[in-house]
Amino acid sequence: MVFTKKQKAAKLIKLALKAMGIVTGVCIGILILTWWLCPFPIERLDKWPMSPTVLDFHGWPLLSIVGSDEQWRYPIPLDQMSPWLKRATIAVEDEHFYRHIGVDPIAVVRAAGQNIAARRIVSGASTLNMQLCRMMDDRPRSFKAKMIESFRALQLNKLKEKDEILELYLNTAPYGGNLRGVEAASLRYFGRHAKDLTLGQAALIAGLPQSPIRYQPDRHLKAAIKRQHVVLRRMFEAGMITELQRKQAQSNLIEIQPNPRIQRSSHAAWFALQRRSSGGHTTIDLDIQKEVERLTWEHLHRLPKDTELAVVVIDINESSIVSMIGSGDHADPVDGQVNGALAKRSPGSALKPFIYAAAFEAGRLNGESIVFDIPISRGGWTPLNFDRVFMGQLTAAEALQRSLNIPAVLIAEGVGLARCCGILEAVGIPLPPDAQKRGGLALAVGGIEVRLLELTNAYATLGRDGLRRYPKIFSDESTPPIRTLSTNVCRAVSEILSSRQRRPRGMETVLAENVPWFMWKTGTSSGRRDAWAIGHNRRYAIGVWVGRFRGTGRTAYIGAEAAEPLLAELFSLPRLRTSIEPLSLTPIQVNRPLPPPRELNQRLKIIAPSPGDTFICLNGSAIIHTRANHTEGVSWFLNDRLIQIDTSRKLALPVGEYELRCVDQSGQSSCVSFAILPSD
């Protein structure tokens, strides 16, 4: 059969169409098969290394560290980004974003024409989908890579909503240096969150991803502004802004102002990061922190050189740490790296309120009970008061206010160390398993080490009327309350130590009505290595520690002198100050009073000086310390002459031989002889 030319042509066309159909079918089949066999790696969208970031209560960064890829990323939801930023990005990067299916055919045709006319690649027609897929795989730029990106972009468009894709892009795109995402760029370049960007600032940031190195504004501001004008023109052409808005944005001065508040409160931030490696919103309030820092630095300058200082402020109701200072200068390469709020130190008398609370809780004592401040000896240990003076009989309230050591030791002995340790642990002060053995009765006067944070939280328990809650550093942490002490006991102890009963150091001349209400207790460790002042005002608990991290003591490190004035200033801050009515108290019933110390029934004896002591006379006299095991109703005689001994119990005597005798009201007496020799 002979075919005409037309028939041959028709047949060829038919065969060609058939072949094209087969090829198209095969391509579609391959596409479907590939779609099924090569699903979009959706999990990789959420696995970009994030920058662990610690934020304050209001959302300001306290501390950020780069992710494992050395990039800064602060992912935020789309609704926390400026609307201008979203519009500017779409206008300059993908104007048909909400209309295409992941690949923009119009942009492809336009890019092909531009590339042919220029005889080089000047446009890639990449949509936001395609750019996101390229950042996910980071392949070398090639035709094959472009095809893969297009395929992945189609898949992504099916898996995610448009706003989700836009959010992913804005949190992932490069914005200069090692900044990824608009929040990192906003904070770095303008010191503000992405939601607070102006039109001009948003347009500048939106233009950076095209060439982050060339347009990086902190290095090439002129180039960045030029690119900003291109973005604003595109927004105007797309009908997103008016001509007036475009001109105003272009005329507004662009200043690069990095976030000035970042990297503050580093000790608190690092503490938070240690507790949760991913970071998050903390309870630190930078407004309070700033005021606490100011007073702390001012106070530190009044202390001896090389002194370190730590402060903790806890919101009692929320059980949240609102301020933490770990050292005098966290920029110091040595001591600045130590967080004094977490260091274990000897608390001195700062534990005494809980020793008294243990006795109050057990019904062994109340504020009006009589306690004894007399010389005692326990297992070879002879405790002394800070001023080495004995007060004899006095009320428990007076003994606690005066911070006398002997009554605290006797109370701990009478109540039992097990109960005292139980109360300390119950209110939130961790003790080692062998605390009773290690500390013994000295535990009542600080013979064990604690952390400032834990001790401050124990005082917060008093301010919370006996409900213990562990201090939280992240806003979303849960701290359920546990009853540890009765309300009445906590209020009784707090009122005894309140500013209504005594004046805080530094406020002696302040009118009573101007002194804020707070309770507090100071502490001074043995050797004056640590000075403490801790208290609460039923709204905040504040703890202050002063010392040196190396542990060496100084005469200036006395709690009432080195720490108490700062504590009073902190409680006077408007943000921390409170005013409360007198606490309602029910008298604590004493069911089984503590027994009197056994020394009361001992025969009168002079403890100092010892019989036969010899002293050297310097500058015309020698200072002799006198002490007997009884203090009430005792008369003293020196060489058979009645003498008056003041509260310091010291005698200044010249060279000679002496006989010192004491006689009590029952007729008991004790006598010692000693001599004072010349220095030469």
DSSP 164-185: HHHHHHHHHSB-STTEESHHHH
* 564 contacts: CB under 8 Å, gap ≥ 6: 504, 505, 506, 520, 522, 533, 544
Q: With 0-12 CB in 10 A as exposed, 13-18 as middle and 19+ as buried, what is 205? A: buried
Chain center to CA of 229:
44
Give the distance between the most distant pair of CA atoms in the chain.
Answer: 160
CB 309 within 8 A of CB 303: yes
- Euclidean distance between CA atoms 49 and 210, whole angstroms: 22
- Euclidean distance between CA atoms 355 and 617, whole angstroms: 43
Return the DSSP state at 517.
Answer: P
Query: Across the strands, what pairs with 627?
Result: 608
Question: What is residue 639's predicted lDDT score, i.e. its pLDDT?
Answer: 93
Count of beta carbons in the 10 Å neighbourhood of residue 527: 12
Whose tokens are 């579609």? That residue is 28
The helix/strand count (H/E) of the chain reads as: 21, 25
Angle at 434 between CA 429 and CA 436, to 5 degrees: 75
- Euclidean distance between CA atoms 481 and 467, whole angstroms: 6
As a dihedral over the C-alpha atoms of residue 507, residue 510, residue 512, residue 518, rounded to 10 degrees, the angle is: -30
Task: Please confirm whether the linkage preceding 609 is cis (ω < 30° from 0).
Answer: yes
CB 371 within 8 A of CB 395: yes
Q: Which residues of the chain have pLDDT under 70?
A: 1-13, 15-50, 66, 68, 105-125, 137-146, 148-149, 258-265, 330-331, 333-336, 647
Does an H or E element contain 130, and which? helix 128-137
Do the bridges between strand 279-281 and strand 530-536 make them parallel or antiparallel, or are there none, so unpaired?
unpaired
- Euclidean distance between CA atoms 149 and 133, whole angstroms: 6
Does an H or E element contain 650, and which? strand 650-653
Catalytic residue positions, numbered = 93, 349
- Euclidean distance between CA atoms 348 and 507, whole angstroms: 23
Cα separations in angstroms, 163 against 81, 84, 173: 12, 15, 15
Buried/exposed 176-202: b ≥16 CB within 10 Å, e otherwise: bbbbbbbbbbbbbbbbebbbebbbbbb
- Euclidean distance between CA atoms 467 and 538, whole angstroms: 12
Cα separations in angstroms, 78 against 58, 163, 168, 433, 679: 19, 8, 9, 52, 86
CB 507 within 8 A of CB 491: no
Question: What are the phi and psi torsion angles at 555 (to 5°)?
Answer: -65, -25
Return the DSSP state at 643.
Answer: E
Question: What is residue 144's predicted lDDT score, i.e. its pLDDT?
Answer: 63
CB 217 within 8 A of CB 224: yes
pLDDT digits (tens, 9 = 90+) for 496-551: 999 989 989 888 777 777 889 999 999 999 889 999 999 999 999 999 999 998 88
Q: With 0-12 CB in 10 A as exposed, 13-18 as middle and 19+ as buried, what is 436? A: middle
Return the DSSP state at 563.
Answer: I
Return the DSSP state at 621.
Answer: B
- Euclidean distance between CA atoms 17 and 323, whole angstroms: 77
Does an H or E element contain 392, and which? strand 392-395
Structure token pair of residue 572: 């006077």
Question: What is residue 320's predicted lDDT score, i.e. its pLDDT?
Answer: 96
Query: What is the C-alpha radius of gyration for the chain, rounded to an integer number of angstroms?
Result: 39
- Euclidean distance between CA atoms 268 and 427, whole angstroms: 22
Whose tokens are 């940031």? That residue is 205
> For the chain, percent helix, then strand, then coil, each to nearest 5?
40, 15, 40
Question: What are the phi and psi torsion angles at 27 (to 5°)?
Answer: -65, -45
